[in-house]
Amino acid sequence: MGVKVAVVGAGSTYTPELVEGVVAHEDRLPIDELALFDIDPERLDVVGGVSARILRRQGWEGDLVVTSDRSRALDGASFVVAQIRVGGQEARLSDETLPLAFGCIGQETTGPGGFAKALRTVPVIMELAEETARRGARDAWFVDFTNPVGIVTQALLDEGHRAVGLCNVAITLQRRIAALLDVPWDRLELEHVGLNHLSWLRAVRLDGVDIVPDLLKHHGDGLAEELKLPVQLLRILGVIPSYYLRYYYLQDQLLAEERAPGHRSRAEEVMAIEHDLMAAYRDPALDHKPELLSSRGGAYYSEAAVRLMASLHAGTGDVQVVDLRNAGAIPALPADAVVEIPARIERDGPHPISVAPLAPELLGLVEQAKSYERLAVEAALTGSRTTALKALLANPLVPSYGVAAPLLDAVLEANRRHLPRFYPGDTTGGA
């Protein structure tokens, strides 16, 4: 018996990647209906068109529904995949540039930029999850790929939603290390520990044997270059950090680079890529994922998403890295804290696999970031400026109260039209 999958934010240029994954993994996840929903009719029409051609070329026999009716998309859905961007790329550009004037890193998922994104995003995701609970299939799963994934998933689980967060960092590192060693990826088991976009590979087991020491010794330079971190740092820590740790470990250096004359933000790069992708998608002859999409980011997104849904559907008990309740898996962290670690995927959900305690140099950063994440959730849902200020004060990438207070005013004003909880009754903007 097949299932219905609804994709919220289907006007994203990522969607053809997900659509190809649906067909590639239909032996594990038999989908009867794929519903693509977006609030932008033009983007939905273009992306829906190329998606239909991809599915037709591959001989997929399910029903494709392309709709701007959210209720139609969510009705009866077994899985709802959220990949939204509230405010679009213009808001991302603000997230990456506004903090620079206050001496803070400009990045869309960490620091003040990630905080701004969380304020815009969490209330919208919660509304979607609540409607999924009303309209979706019995025991429907809400799969969040929307950044900041850790904060969004914390909000979802705190409110009791049947949800799991997903990021492509772990699967990308697994595939790249497998390619580096020229071995099949499924021979590698990752001990991926931490929070979303604040994680480390503490062990990489090849046929059960940890090879991190050998990787750092023989391939350290290549790994460091790819992660844009000093190889000496990797060897001192004895772990392989995710790419996003560079914003913490090299904060001064990256801030100087981002503030340098002529620097082009990632948001500007993505805007250019998306312009070209949308032009390509409009070609009625295009019936496959274009190569340009690989430069957009999100490698292995479709594989990670479909593997997760397939395992939840079948209860296969395989191990995947997801965002879920800690439940004692990482000692010293609260049971209800959302972490990003390996979990065994069953029909009733992901079950975290216990790991050894974090070393002090990892634990301290995780504890501070988790405190910030919890405050960010509270601020997003309540519209409390006091809580929002506390969140920025707890953020590891905000240096002081003297920075946090005026920065908060600027962030709220820049995002006013997307923050009705902070500006109740404000009619100057619009969602």
Q: What percentage of the chain has pLDDT greater than the value 70?
A: 98
Which DSSP symbol is given to 244?
Answer: G
Q: What is the pLDDT of residue 303?
A: 87
C-alpha span between 131 and 71 (Å, rounded): 8
C-alpha span between 323 and 339 (Å, rounded): 5
- Of the pLDDT bands very low, low, confident and very high (cuts 50, 70, 90), residue 159 is very high
Active site residues: 244
C-alpha span between 180 and 79 (Å, rounded): 34
Query: Contact, 390 vs 110, CB < 8 A?
Result: no
DSSP characters for 327-389?
A: TTSSTTS-TTSEEEEEEEEETTEEEEPP-PPPPHHHHHHHHHHHHHHHHHHHHHHH--HHHHH
The predicted model gives 400-425 an average pLDDT of: 97
* CB-neighbour burial class of residue 427 (10 A; exposed 0-12, middle 13-18, buried 19+): exposed
Contacts of 342 (CB under 8 A, 6+ apart): 189, 190, 191, 192, 319, 320, 321, 352, 353
Q: What is the pLDDT of residue 294?
A: 80
Q: What is the pLDDT of residues 143-154, one digit of tens each?
A: 999 999 999 999
Bridge partner list, 349: 346
Contacts of 78 (CB under 8 A, 6+ apart): 3, 4, 5, 136, 137, 140, 141, 313
Peptide bond into 148 cis (omega under 30): yes
DSSP characters for 73-128?
A: HHTT-SEEEE---TTHHHHHHHHHHGGGGGT----SSSHHHHHHHHHHHHHHHHHH
C-alpha span between 333 and 391 (Å, rounded): 19
Token pair, residue 46, equals: 């273009």
Q: What is the pLDDT of residues 234-249, one digit of tens each?
A: 999 999 999 999 999 9
Residue carrying the six token digits 């790329």: 89
- Residue 425, pLDDT above cutoff 90: no
Q: Write phi, then psi, for 141 (nearest 5 degrees).
A: -105, 135
Contacts of 103 (CB under 8 A, 6+ apart): 255, 399, 403
C-alpha span between 304 and 301 (Å, rounded): 5
Q: What is the pLDDT of residues 349-372, one digit of tens each?
A: 999 999 999 999 999 999 999 999
- Residue 267, pLDDT above cutoff 90: yes
CB atoms within 10 A of CB 429: 12
